[in-house]
Amino acid sequence: MNGGLSRAVVFDLDGTLIDSAPDIHAAANTLMARHGFAPFTPAETRSFIGSGVPHFITCCLRARDRAGDAALRAQLIGEFIDLYETAVTLTTVYPGVAGALEALASAPYALGLCTNKPAGPARAVLAHLRLDAHFPVVIGGDSLSVRKPDPAPLQAAVAGLGARDVVYVGDSEVDAETAARAGLPFALYTEGYRKGPVDAIPHDRAFADFGELPGIVAELLS
């Protein structure tokens, strides 16, 4: 699928390549209004992001004192995923991402995606932002029976690319744990949705500017 490339870079999506928090916030508040709950602030919904839709909805319900309502949780998960399929209009690509992807593809590295966002919404937003051509392999939060930080999704992305030497790029504690459990070097994008300080998150390299990433990858795989 990657033309026989043995080196690859696998990326997280939300908070790493794209700032999707505004769309996620809007979708969450659409659901809250539909079910008679008070809306959330952008900071609240941003703090819920990173571990997939079921976890996100659990956080929403916990904040509205309905965490124990299993039937409502199941209903909201389904409704949120339906909204999520078209929640692309407020999402933006982080500065420097497009150039970094071009540089990495030209190096050449195979490029893949491993996200806890469901695969359908992930592909939809990649297509909307014209990033989809870079990623022949997309592993979403519903692609397997487990999600990050279980290493299996990342391992599936690596296997799909057929690569041997791989760097994982993400923005969060979940991504750092996933890389560690998969035994892969981890590059931390510091401007995403991490919950704590950079020095509290295990990483091999940290960066705030995507212009630095091709050099970081070359260093980590040298």
Which residues form the catalytic set?
Answer: 12
DSSP for the chain, written as a single string: --TT--EEEEE--BTTTEE-HHHHHHHHHHHHHHTTPPPPPHHHHHHHTTS-HHHHHHHHHHHTT-TT-HHHHHHHHHHHHHHHTTTTTT-EEPTTHHHHHHHHHHTT-EEEEE-SS-HHHHHHHHHHTT-GGG-SEEE-TTSSSS-TTSSHHHHHHHHHHT-SEEEEEESSHHHHHHHHHHT--EEEETTS--SS-GGGS--SEEES-GGGHHHHHHHHT-
